[in-house]
Amino acid sequence: MLRLERRPQPSKMWSYLTPLIAVAATMIVGGLLFAALGKPPVEAIKTIFWDPLFGPFASYSRPQLLIKAGPLILIAIGLALGFKAGIWNIGAEGQYIVGAICGAAVALAFYPMDGFFIFPLMILFGGLGGFLWAMIPALLKTRFGTNEILVSLMLVYVAEQLLAAMALGPLKNPEGYGFPGSRNLQQYEAAYNAEIIAGTGMHWGVVAALISVIMAYILLGRHVLGFHIRVTGEAPRAAGFAGVHTGRLVVICLGLSGALAGLAGMFEISGPSGVVSIDFNVGYGFTAIIVAFLGRLHPLGILLAGLLLALTYIGGEMAQMTLNLPSAAIQVFQGMLLFFLLAVDFLTNYRVRIGQKEAV
Amino acid sequence: MDFSAINPVLLIASLMVAATPIMLAAIGELVVEKAGVLNLGVEGMMIVGAVAGFVTAFETGSPILGFIMAAIGGALLSLVFAFLTQFVLANQVASGLALTLFGLGLSALIGQDYVGVKPPPTPKVNFGALADIPVIGPILFGHDLVVYLGLGIVAGTWAFLKYSRAGLILKAVGENHDAAHALGYKVVRVRILAIMFGGACAGLGGAFISLIRVPQWTEGMTAGAGWIALALVVFASWKPWRVLIGAYLYGGITVLQLNAQAAGARIPVEYLSMSPYLITILVLVFMSADRSRAPAALGKIFHASN
Amino acid sequence: MKLTKLLTSAAVALGLAVPAFADEKTKVGFVYVGPVGDGGWTYEHNEGRLAVEEYFGDEVETVYVESVPEGPDAERVMTQMALEGADLIFTTSFGYMDPTINVAAKFPNVKFEHATGYKRADNVSTYSARFYEGRAVQGTIAGRMTKSNIVGYIGSYPIPEVIRGINSAYLHARKVNPDVQFKIIWAFTWFDPAKEADAAKVLIEQGADVILQHTDSTAPQAAAEAAGGVITFGQASDMAEFGPLPRVSSIIDNWAPYYIERTQAVIDGTWTSVDTWDGMDTGMVKIGEISDAVPADVKAEAEAMIAAIASGEYEPFTGPINKQDGSVWLADGETADDGTLAGMNFYVEGLEGTIPQ
């Protein structure tokens, strides 16, 4: 009988090895899937994992990885802080939308004025918008004990309706012939979140994501707030003795994750996306939850997980293009990759033993 | 505006139909969470149920077989989640989200060749003269079998959790798996069965959409119903009858806002469309005076050697 | 095709070193906003792509990417297509407008065709279909056939395209039936079959016996079938499986002739940037078979209208037409200009309610 035995300490070696095993297993099973669909398996795998990084057009797609991963990482870092403390913000998508709307509204209010202060003001309002949207579940939780999972999730749908209303109404481009959607911020220099060095993919949102990784690393390792977060998540009862004020922690964690999600939305709408449109949001807020857990709620892990997921998105598009793979097959492939990453994770914390101690 | 155009009897009959898919998925998830497991993959299991049911019904011509296969399909997919969370002890939140991603892709692959075809009609239950009784007839006796099945599952779940020994064991596992294990209950086995039940119910809910409510197969056709179902479980504070109330409330507001639009209400539509979510939040705030809480072991990983 | 040159210029534009490779085939790319299995908008564009493959055979290679979100993802997919040697790229959603313009500026030798937008460039054409012509036919049939004099209309979002359809259908319904009344529900979603089913049901419960839809799923058809005594029209695709009742006719997006024509132009080297807004005259808008459930005289009337519109004899928006507030929009005999039509954001006189904005 196989059984698992908890390691006294997580294995360093396995924590590095497991992601590689998972990727290898995904390649094999994914290859079988592609073969079953009548596509060349090796070529498909190579297109997904190799071409975006080292293919003939990699100098274009490598910077794109950063653009795709940036918002995922920024949101996931904020979520991870809450998740570590057992505070479940499922509504980052809504905070992302509201941050984007607020940031864009500031820009559009000043259009076409020129001014160095406009972009910083947009950053401020973007973060503030996400923060305030997250304050709704936070305050309802601390004030009435309302479940934050449900409230934050419901507020995603409210935010989506709000976005549609904004794109069709107040923020609509007055020169857009009645079509929905705002002015393109890419064409408004004072508000445009352009690449800092052209062709690198590094816009301010990516920079913010990298800074957030570093800050979260320091916060969790060295700051008393990081200690409070960890102790609340691991031993809620002990947290009280350690001087943790639970209500305040809820407000801080939800507020922080909301602000980061709002920032991500603001950087996206003022840069790569440019337009307040009905379909501005594409699910970064939900995907970031996966990124946070794939990264094991660790800042560096989140960085890598965000990049890995971005790679499968971009590689998946390439495979669709060159091999006519349906996007559904790519989705299944991504799902399998996540399954394998999650499945092999136990090797870090457990040892497999062969013995006849009672089966679980 | 002309409110007289809104017929309350038909409104109630419609909301019962609108509520059925989310109610089915939510009651399944409720049992899963009562066993201490949080499966966020409801949307994925629903859509796989939707396609499994549709394909089966179309190929065999039997909607009943379709619903059976939908339940089996949902349960099979949930086994992937069960393996990840119960055997290799993976994080439940991430596994559930991955399940949704996987299910959406898988269903689209399976359904590729079934776009634009029409499934066989699901016969309504024939109550004869009963259906002609004014008011009560259309509300109680004018529905598809699955609407009644959904009500039956809610009632059955309530009775199971309240009165049966197995239900007590399930709740014990969900409250404190270590204690339940110490008492000799098979924690993992109980949870796997609960997860499969959740998958089967979600599959039925999905098939209700693809075989009765729409009926058609299109990619991503559940359009977020699984997430509403998840919210419903929390809304119901893990009580079966409240799932029913919550589903009817949500379905009711959805149908009512469409009614208000058609009747020409002078409320901006974009705010009307927000109303189901806002009202859910409001009701929740009022209900939070009731301190029913989640199963204590919800989302926690169980390992026998702990 | 001078593919090497094309790639080189792309490489120069992006500052890339690209290995040149020779390729004889003309490569045509398609960017889709939904899955090809959506049974509606994207499905019909993909039918157009398949028609291109069939027509040109080995001469042309097509590539596509489905479910591409609007914004940066679309821009990346288009760029990748251009880098991989596409000669012509169709971008099939309004939200792809700015990305198309951006990418086109980087690849001056690749031709782009953007559906339903209004921004053009030397290498960017726009194309769209006059679906409102089909709505005129639907309105006529609806006005003749309704017994309750209530027509239900399910809209997605209040954008000019949808508003134009409502106005056109209403004007023609009223023309044959002065008592007709429209009830409009905005679903505020592009795609949610269950919500469309609910909306159709609500309209039927409130007395509508004709359902017009500007959403792509067959859910309203099924709701009408279940209710009985209600007629519907197929949208985007024919939805023939719901005929002869409730579906009595349909508007079909038929992109194939345009896609073939434009691909041919690229092969011949005669492609130029144009603004195409075609209707029934070129077959871009097709009216699906009018079923036998429609009385013969109504069918004849509808067919006469189809012929008149297709020949250019009749223009659906011909004055006198007043706006909802009673002010004059078109004087007697005056026809609408394309600019006003393209950005239409008002109801015509007689319609109730306000457009959400």
Return the closest-CA partner of residue C160 out of C195, C128, C183: C128
Round to whole Å and give the CA distance between C25 and C53: 12
Furthest-apart CA atoms within chain C: distance in Å: 69
Contact assignment for A164 to C345 by CB distance below 8 Å: no
pLDDT 10s digits, B8-44? 888 888 889 899 999 999 999 999 999 999 999 999 9
Provide the H-helix boundaries in chain C: 3-14, 41-56, 72-83, 97-106, 131-145, 160-176, 193-205, 219-227, 256-268, 296-310, 338-342
Furthest-apart CA atoms within chain B: distance in Å: 66
In angstroms, the separation between the Cα of residue A123 and the nearest Cα of chain C is 20
- Asked which of A158-162, A175-179, A279-283, B187-191 is least confident by mean pLDDT, the reply is A175-179
Instruction: Say if C271 falls within a structural domain.
Output: no
Round to whole Å and give the CA distance between A307 and A67: 10
Domain enclosing residue A117, as ranges: 69-300
Round to whole Å and give the CA distance between B32 and B47: 18
Return the closest-CA partner of residue B84 out of B48, B32, B39: B39
Domain stop point among C81, C97, C129: C129
Contact assignment for C198 to B14 by CB distance below 8 Å: yes
Round to whole Å and give the CA distance between C185 and C199: 7
Mutate to test the interface with C, among A278, A284, A287 (most CBs of C within 10 A): A278
Contact assignment for C71 to A273 by CB distance below 8 Å: yes
> CA angle B244-B86-B82, nearest 5°?
55
SS3 A288: helix
Please check whether residues C148 and C293 belong to one and the same domain.
Answer: yes
As a whole number, mean pLDDT of residues A294-307 equals 92
Chain A: list its partners (3+ Cβ pairs within 8 Å): B, C
Round to whole Å and give the CA distance between A276 and A271: 11
pLDDT 10s digits, B164-196? 999 999 999 999 999 999 999 999 999 999 999
Instruction: Say if A9 falls within a structural domain.
Output: no
Return phi, psi of residue A281, to 5°.
Answer: -80, 135
Of B90, B108, B109, the CB nearest to A345: B90
Return the closest-CA partner of residue C248 out of C141, C355, C99: C141
Name residue C321's beta-bridge partners.
Answer: C330
**Per-residue DSSP letter, A110:** H
Contact assignment for A335 to B103 by CB distance below 8 Å: yes
Contacting C residues, span 257-286, partner chain B, CB-CB under 8 Å: none
Q: What global pTM score does this model have?
A: 0.90
Instruction: Say if A31 falls within a structural domain.
Output: no
Domain stop point among C80, C101, C129: C129
Contact assignment for C184 to B270 by CB distance below 8 Å: no
Structure tokens at C26: 């003309």
> CA angle A327-C242-C181, nearest 5°?
105
> What CATH number does residue B143 fall under?
1.10.3470
Q: β-pairing, A350-354 with A2-6? A: antiparallel
> What CATH number does residue C188 fall under?
3.40.50.2300
Mutate to test the interface with C, among A320, A323, A334 (most CBs of C within 10 A): A320
For residue A240, pLDDT beyond 80? no
Whole-number pLDDT of residue A66 = 94
pLDDT 10s digits, B130-168? 777 777 777 777 788 899 999 999 999 999 999 999 999
Round to whole Å and give the CA distance between A109 and A113: 9
Of A149, A331, A360, the CB nearest to B234: A149
For residue B270, pLDDT beyond 80? no
**Per-residue DSSP letter, C26:** E
Instruction: For residue A158, list chain B residues with Cβ-Cβ distance below 8 A.
Output: 274, 277-278
Domain enclosing residue C160, as ranges: 131-252+286-342
Cα distance from N-terminal residue to C-terminal residue, chain C: 47
Question: Among all residues of chain C, which has the CA nearest to that of B271?
Answer: C356
pLDDT 10s digits, C129-140? 999 999 999 999
| Residue B101 and residue B108 in contact, taking contact as beta carbons nearer than 8 Å | no
Of B10, B214, B254, the CB nearest to C222: B214
> Could you give the number of structural domains in chain C?
2
Instruction: Say if A8 falls within a structural domain.
Output: no
Whose structure tokens read 């993959």?
Answer: B41
In angstroms, the separation between the Cα of residue A302 and the nearest Cα of chain B is 13
Round to whole Å and give the CA distance between C184 and B25: 31
For residue C321, pLDDT beyond 70? yes
**Does residue A257 or residue A87 have the better pLDDT?**
A257
Please check whether residues C188 and C117 belong to one and the same domain.
Answer: no
**For residue C9, what pLDDT band results from cuts at 50, 70 and 90?**
very low
Return phi, psi of residue B83, to 5°.
Answer: -60, -50
Whose structure tokens read 């749908």?
Answer: A157
In angstroms, the separation between the Cα of residue A189 and the nearest Cα of chain B is 32
Instruction: Say if B106 falls within a structural domain.
Output: yes
Contacts of C330 (CB under 8 A, 6+ apart): C317, C318, C319, C320, C321, C336
Please check whether residues C167 and C61 belong to one and the same domain.
Answer: no
> Could you give the number of structural domains in chain B?
1
Name residue C234's beta-bridge partners.
Answer: C250
Please check whether residues C100 and C148 belong to one and the same domain.
Answer: no
Q: β-pairing, C210-213 with A2-6? A: unpaired
Of C66, C72, C345, the CB nearest to A178: C345
Furthest-apart CA atoms within chain A: distance in Å: 76
Chain B: list its partners (3+ Cβ pairs within 8 Å): A, C
Return phi, psi of residue C178, to 5°.
Answer: -60, -15
**For residue A360, what pLDDT band results from cuts at 50, 70 and 90?**
very low
For residue B224, pLDDT beyond 50? yes
Radius of gyration of chain C (CA): 22
Question: Among all residues of chain A, which has the CA nearest to that of C342?
Answer: A177
Instruction: Say if B229 falls within a structural domain.
Output: yes
Instruction: Say if B297 falls within a structural domain.
Output: no
Please check whether residues C309 and C242 belong to one and the same domain.
Answer: yes
Instruction: Say if B244 falls within a structural domain.
Output: yes
- Asked which of A321-335, C2-16, C90-104, C236-250 is least confident by mean pLDDT, the reply is C2-16
Contact assignment for A279 to C188 by CB distance below 8 Å: no
Contacting A residues, span 134-163, partner chain B, CB-CB under 8 Å: 140, 144-147, 149-151, 153-155, 157-158, 161-162
Average pLDDT, chain B: 88
Cα separations in angstroms, A5 against A16, A17, A352, B285, C248: 20, 19, 6, 44, 67
Name residue C186's beta-bridge partners.
Answer: C155
Structure tokens at C14: 């992006």
Instruction: For residue A145, list chain B residues with Cβ-Cβ distance below 8 A.
Output: 288, 291
Cα distance from N-terminal residue to C-terminal residue, chain A: 10
Mutate to test the interface with C, among B261, B266, B272, B274 (most CBs of C within 10 A): B261
Question: Among all residues of chain A, which has the CA nearest to that of B275?
Answer: A158
Structure tokens at A87: 């505070």
Of C39, C183, C353, the CB nearest to B115: C39
Cα separations in angstroms, B222 against B115, C83, C193: 15, 36, 8
Instruction: Say if C162 falls within a structural domain.
Output: yes
Round to whole Å and give the CA distance between C172 and C139: 5
Round to whole Å and give the CA distance between A194 and A269: 11
Instruction: Say if C178 falls within a structural domain.
Output: yes
pLDDT 10s digits, A335-358? 999 999 889 888 888 888 776 554
Please check whether residues C47 and C186 belong to one and the same domain.
Answer: no
In angstroms, the separation between the Cα of residue C167 and the nearest Cα of chain A is 16
SS3 A349: helix
Whole-number pLDDT of residue B305 = 59
Please check whether residues C151 and C235 belong to one and the same domain.
Answer: yes
Whole-number pLDDT of residue B292 = 62
What does the H/E/C string look like for chain B?
Answer: CCHHHCCHHHHHHHHHHHHHHHHHHHHHHHHHHHCCCCCCCHHHHHHHHHHHHHHHHHHHCCHHHHHHHHHHHHHHHHHHHHHHHHHCCCCHHHHHHHHHHHHHHHHHHHHHHHCCCCCCCCCECCCHHHHHCCCHHHHHCCCEHHHHHHHHHHHHHHHHHHHCHHHHHHHHHHHCHHHHHHCCCCHHHHHHHHHHHHHHHHHHHHHHHHHHHCCCCCCCCCCCHHHHHHHHHHHCCCCHHHHHHHHHHHHHHHHHHHHHHHCCCCCCHHHHHHHHHHHHHHHHHHHCCCCCCCCCCCCCCCCCCC
Instruction: Say if C353 falls within a structural domain.
Output: no
Please check whether residues C66 and C191 belong to one and the same domain.
Answer: no
Question: Among all residues of chain C, which has the CA nearest to that of A273?
Answer: C71
Contact assignment for B270 to A164 by CB distance below 8 Å: yes
Contacting A residues, span 212-241, partner chain B, CB-CB under 8 Å: none
Instruction: For residue C153, list chain B residues with Cβ-Cβ distance below 8 A.
Output: none
**Does residue A264 or residue B264 have the better pLDDT?**
A264
How much of chain C, in percent, has pLDDT values that exceed 90? 70
**For residue C297, what pLDDT band results from cuts at 50, 70 and 90?**
very high
| Residue B146 and residue B212 in contact, taking contact as beta carbons nearer than 8 Å | yes
Domain enclosing residue B185, as ranges: 3-116+130-287
Contacts of A316 (CB under 8 A, 6+ apart): A48, A325, A327, A330, A333, A334
Instruction: Say if A309 falls within a structural domain.
Output: no
Whole-number pLDDT of residue B142 = 76
Please check whether residues C125 and C169 belong to one and the same domain.
Answer: no
For residue A92, pLDDT beyond 70? yes
Instruction: Say if A125 falls within a structural domain.
Output: yes
**For residue A1, what pLDDT band results from cuts at 50, 70 and 90?**
low
Structure tokens at C35: 């899955």
What's the ipTM? 0.89
Return the closest-CA partner of residue A67 out of A255, A243, A205: A205
For residue C117, pLDDT beyond 80? yes
Please check whether residues C123 and C135 belong to one and the same domain.
Answer: no
Pairs across B and C, CB distance < 8 A = 115
Return the closest-CA partner of residue B277 out of B228, B223, B233: B228
Please check whether residues C124 and C136 belong to one and the same domain.
Answer: no
Provide the H-helix boundaries in chain A: 12-36, 41-49, 51-54, 58-84, 92-110, 118-144, 148-168, 204-222, 224-234, 236-241, 246-270, 284-294, 299-323, 327-344, 346-349
Instruction: Say if B121 falls within a structural domain.
Output: no
> CA angle A114-A115-A118, nearest 5°?
110
Instruction: Say if B19 falls within a structural domain.
Output: yes
Of C72, C80, C118, the CB nearest to A321: C80
As a whole number, mean pLDDT of residues A3-19 equals 81
Contact assignment for C83 to A324 by CB distance below 8 Å: no
Instruction: Say if C245 falls within a structural domain.
Output: yes
- Count the Cβ atoms, other than its own, within 10 Å of residue A283: 10
Please check whether residues C68 and C137 belong to one and the same domain.
Answer: no
As a whole number, mean pLDDT of residues A260-287 equals 93
Whole-number pLDDT of residue A234 = 79
Structure tokens at A3: 């059984």
| Residue C247 and residue C211 in contact, taking contact as beta carbons nearer than 8 Å | no
Instruction: Say if B212 falls within a structural domain.
Output: yes
Contact assignment for C38 to B118 by CB distance below 8 Å: no
Contact assignment for C66 to A320 by CB distance below 8 Å: yes
| Residue A130 and residue A260 in contact, taking contact as beta carbons nearer than 8 Å | yes
